Structure 1
Amino acid sequence: MFLALFIGLVVLLIIVDYLNRRRHNEIFKQNGIKSFTYLPIIGSAHHFVNVSPNDFLQFTSEVFEKYGNTCSLWLLNRATVLTADPMVLEPLLSSQKVLKKNSLYGLLDSWLKEGLLLSNGPKWHSRRKTITPTFHFKILEEFVQVFEQQSNIMMDALKEKADGETVVNLYPFVCAMALDIIAETAMGVKINAQLQPNFPYVKAVRTVSAIFAERFIAPLQRFDFWLRLTAPRRFQQLQSNIALMHDFTGSVIEQRRAQLEQSIENNTRKDEATDTLLHDDVGCKKRRAFLDMLLQAKIKGQPLSNSDIREEVDTFMFEGHDTTTSGISFTCYLLSRHPAVQQKVFEELRAVIGDDKQRAMTLYDLQALQYLECVIKESMRLYPPAPTIGRHIEEDVYLGDKLFPANTNITILIYHAMRNPDYFDDAEQFIPERFSADADRKINTFAYVPFSAGPRNCVGQKFAMLEMKSTICKILRHYELLALGKEVRPIANIVLFSATGVNMGLRPRKYI
């Protein structure tokens, strides 16, 4: 009797599973989208059993070779489309109907809540409209000073390794510098990540980022209940460090709001009210930060609450250090492996600012470095800081001439899209000149999307480009980059990094 009931239940589940998948499968077939084979209940999960995080990019490359640049699969009961096709990216990223991020982003909810990265609908629209002006030209001009000061600290840290023989993994040095930069520009505070790596907030950011990276590439760990069950200490570590970060940013916001209110009451300039110490190790600066502008912003006539502002500040902190770290590190790696390109960048740099290594660069100097910009763009084409992005289709929608059904996740493999030989000649080669204004072949806008595209493109891309330019210039003014150490082995995580480090040698730069 029990066996019969069990068999009947299994058959019922299989029938329900089939009916739930049928419409999606029919639409995908009509659109000519090939699909992974799947099993009842578990979907296509068995295809990923032997795929390690280190192998994911190679695995997806083989998938696209077999199934085409757009294919479908089932992750448990979730219909998922994988694509690296610019013909799909254009209508998808341009669409006002497909603005919601896919379910993977939910991993970050406990840290970022409903900040700009994760919010949807009217909340996202109002926040985007409020935050975009904070990246105004005049604001960015002030931030160049922060880039300069923090990169000077990194130059001192690299000095003892710059003997032309020592293999240097540049990534952790750049990461600490980028964390200092985003803390000062987003919150207006110095956390001294480069000089005081054990400061609690710095350790918390690194710990939480590492745990989220692990969860992103381990499917079962994406579920809180599973992490709590199998790694309770790790789960508690995650929760306690997120709480520490929230407390820190919350205290900064409260103090800056009090200063702003006091300055208004005293009818003084806001900037004169930022000269206090928040902590023995954290000092406020007489410079506007994103936080100051958010404190004065209003949505529908109402100021943002402290929790609203904390969501955005936490989002800035998350998005604003690992991505630029990846971009800077991989660009320097490529320069170390292409000395002729490195020399051309250095000559352009000398032509713009001369030979004084101590001269501070200005926003206008950075904008004048057009060849360096081509180099950075080409580096991000080969090694995009955000190798994948995702969207969720909530209702049936036509993207181009193809119907995509409701309740479908779409994962966009930017890494593969930007290496597509149909859109880039010698796609695997490092050729910065392809981005020059007089290049023979113009770049398709939706074949090159390192900052995404459309309504949900990266709001901080100008900030990121300036930071990358400033830091790379600083490194090249002081050091020649040499091809030493292991080659990179890129891993597609929340942010692209290398399993082998981003290695090179450094030799003190000689001006002739």
Structure 2
Amino acid sequence: MRSIPEIGTTFPIIGNAHQLKTKSGEFFNQIVELTTEYYTLPLFKIWIGTIPFVILFHHETVESILNNPIHMEKAYAYTFLHPWLGTGLLTSTGKKWRQRRKMLTPTFHFSILTDFMEVMNEQSEILVEKLQNKAGKEVFDCYPYVTLCALDIICETAMGKKIYAQSNYESEYVKCVYKMSDIVSRRQRLPWYWPDLLYYSIGDGKEHDKMLKVLHSFTQKVIKERAENISNSESDSETDLKKRRAFLDMLLKTTDEEGNSMSHQDIQEEVDTFMFEGHDTTAASMNWILHLVGSHPEVQRKVHQELDEVFGTSDRPVNTEDLKKMRYLECVIKEGLRLYPSVPFFGRTICQDTTIRGFKVLKGSNIIIVTYALHRDPRYFPEPEEFKPERFLPQNSIGRPAYAYVPFSAGLRNCIGQRFALMEEKVVLSSVFRRFTVEACQKHEELHPVGELILRPEKGIWIKLEMRTK
């Protein structure tokens, strides 16, 4: 049995932390560079504090973990999300996770997701109106526009609450969502902030709790209001509830096999999780795709051609039949997620001693799966840095290992909302490309991807728009 190769020099208490970059963008680039340097190895190990982190970035090693029901527990770093998200679907484990996943799965059935298309179309139309003011004018950063659109969509579909983020980007709730993500990410990579005593005395502890109060107060208020509306048939008719049904409404009515309903605390965990996972991820993906398509005129021509075939000259909203016909746009989205996966790495805890490709990995070790590097394996993605949507045409996907491409994770703990995300991206992106021609105004080397909880461009996505003539 071989020992796992270790990177650099380790010291007591801090491990390799002294060698790791502290800025998020630099830390992410350092990990990616290590996966390139040690590509011929099946895995390697770094120590952050007293915890060993085993780095995986080949499909063979990734599958051995994600496809194993024993290693279901999330990595230690996820505990820093507990104050915000509790132990909802993202962070829970064991019996609670299995029970919660079973209860929530029906709420993501395709027939229910189609009810949300009205919201997606409405918010996409608002986005298009905002972008029309930029068309034919100066270069601008589209990142905040697309992100606020995604936030409006998730707020209304998850909570049934309009927050008008696209019109009120100074919203306190909007600011706190972003600030909280940054605070958590920073703590995860700096082990001297892991103990609460140090975190609250010299770290971001006080700011963390300030953000937490705003976020929880908002969702608590919304849950209380929706619960009262559902129980009061006079204030909300059954027809109105069906028309604007939200995930929250379904959670308030959900019961397990024994007839037990979810408490308001249980529901808040899941609503906060939807808000965290369900807007920044899709927003990042759509922004990267706008850059990629705007950098490849031939791809954009094919996107326009497909959309013209589906919609003609009509400005009608997107429907479910349209979604099925957007085959090339789906390839574009998948290739965008290959190059710039919204979650650039994620982690698990090894729950019993195991062997990976002849290396012994001890119970308690943390596994970090580097999606960004996994998706650039030249064995399955020749010319891995090139943007080629045709890779995902059915005939070109034959023989590609399932675990070589995991933008939504894989195995039992795959992302429950991946169909929702793909639907949203098709609706929003098709709305934009039906109206505009996009020109990217940054070179590849100017993007500087920052890998925190979400993979973002350091300085936004700068584009120029022109109205399409039909």
TM class by smaller structure: over 0.9
| Superposed displacement of residue 256, structure 1 | 1.7
Q: Select the structure with the greater relative contact order (CA < 8 A; seq sep ≥ 6).
A: 2
Q: How many residues align?
A: 464
1:247 corresponds, among 193, 217, 221, to: 217
Equivalent in the alignment of 1:206: 178
1:118 matches 2:75: no
Q: SS where residue 475 of structure 1 aligns?
A: helix
Q: SS where residue 322 of structure 2 aligns?
A: helix
2:27 corresponds, among 56, 70, 77, to: 56
In the alignment, the residues of structure 2 paired with residue 385 and residue 449 of structure 1 have an alpha-carbon distance, to the nearest angstrom, of: 11
In the alignment, the residues of structure 1 paired with residue 425 and residue 44 of structure 2 have an alpha-carbon distance, to the nearest angstrom, of: 35
The one-letter code matched in structure 2 to 1:301 is: G
| Superposed displacement of residue 227, structure 1 | 3.3
Equivalent in the alignment of 1:343: 301
Per the normalisation by structure 2, the TM-score is 0.93
1:317 matches 2:266: no
Q: Deviations over 1:137-181 (max 9, x none)?
A: 121111111111001111122222212x52221111111111100
2:159 corresponds, among 187, 205, 214, to: 187
The one-letter code matched in structure 2 to 1:198 is: E
Equivalent in the alignment of 1:16: none
Equivalent in the alignment of 1:475: 432
Contact 1:216 1:494 in 2 (8 A): no
Equivalent in the alignment of 1:411: 368
In the alignment, the residues of structure 1 paired with residue 276 and residue 292 of structure 2 have an alpha-carbon distance, to the nearest angstrom, of: 25
Contact 1:169 1:503 in 2 (8 A): yes
Equivalent in the alignment of 2:115: 142
Contact 1:374 1:436 in 2 (8 A): yes
Contact 2:17 2:190 in 1 (8 A): no
Equivalent in the alignment of 1:455: 412
CA gap of 1:225–1:507, structure 2 versus 1, over 3 A, is: farther
Equivalent in the alignment of 1:279: none
Calculate percent identity across the aligned residue pairs.
39
1:96 corresponds, among 69, 75, 78, to: 69
In the alignment, the residues of structure 2 paired with residue 51 and residue 251 of structure 1 have an alpha-carbon distance, to the nearest angstrom, of: 37
Q: Deviations over 1:102-158 (max 9, x none)?
A: 011111111101111011111100100011111111211111111110011111222
Contact 1:488 1:503 in 2 (8 A): no
In the alignment, the residues of structure 2 paired with residue 262 and residue 101 of structure 1 have an alpha-carbon distance, to the nearest angstrom, of: 40
The one-letter code matched in structure 2 to 1:64 is: T
1:152 matches 2:125: yes
Contact 1:434 1:441 in 2 (8 A): no
In the alignment, the residues of structure 2 paired with residue 186 and residue 62 of structure 1 have an alpha-carbon distance, to the nearest angstrom, of: 38
In the alignment, the residues of structure 2 paired with residue 297 and residue 400 of structure 1 have an alpha-carbon distance, to the nearest angstrom, of: 43
Contact 1:435 1:443 in 2 (8 A): no
Equivalent in the alignment of 2:465: 506
The one-letter code matched in structure 2 to 1:503 is: W
In the alignment, the residues of structure 2 paired with residue 179 and residue 64 of structure 1 have an alpha-carbon distance, to the nearest angstrom, of: 33
Unaligned runs of 5+ in 2: none
Equivalent in the alignment of 2:328: 371
The one-letter code matched in structure 1 to 2:92 is: S
Q: SS where residue 34 of structure 1 aligns?
A: coil
| Superposed displacement of residue 398, structure 1 | 4.1
In the alignment, the residues of structure 2 paired with residue 500 and residue 253 of structure 1 have an alpha-carbon distance, to the nearest angstrom, of: 36
1:497 corresponds, among 448, 453, 456, to: 456
| Superposed displacement of residue 76, structure 1 | 2.5
2:17 corresponds, among 32, 45, 51, to: 45
| Superposed displacement of residue 73, structure 1 | 2.3
The one-letter code matched in structure 1 to 2:114 is: E
Per the normalisation by structure 1, the TM-score is 0.86
1:488 corresponds, among 430, 442, 447, to: 447
Contact 2:49 2:191 in 1 (8 A): no
The one-letter code matched in structure 1 to 2:213 is: A
Q: Deviations over 1:301-347 (max 9, x none)?
A: 21100010010000000001100011100011100000100110110
1:197 matches 2:187: no
Equivalent in the alignment of 2:312: 354
Equivalent in the alignment of 1:393: 350
1:81 matches 2:54: yes
The one-letter code matched in structure 1 to 2:417 is: G
Equivalent in the alignment of 1:258: 228
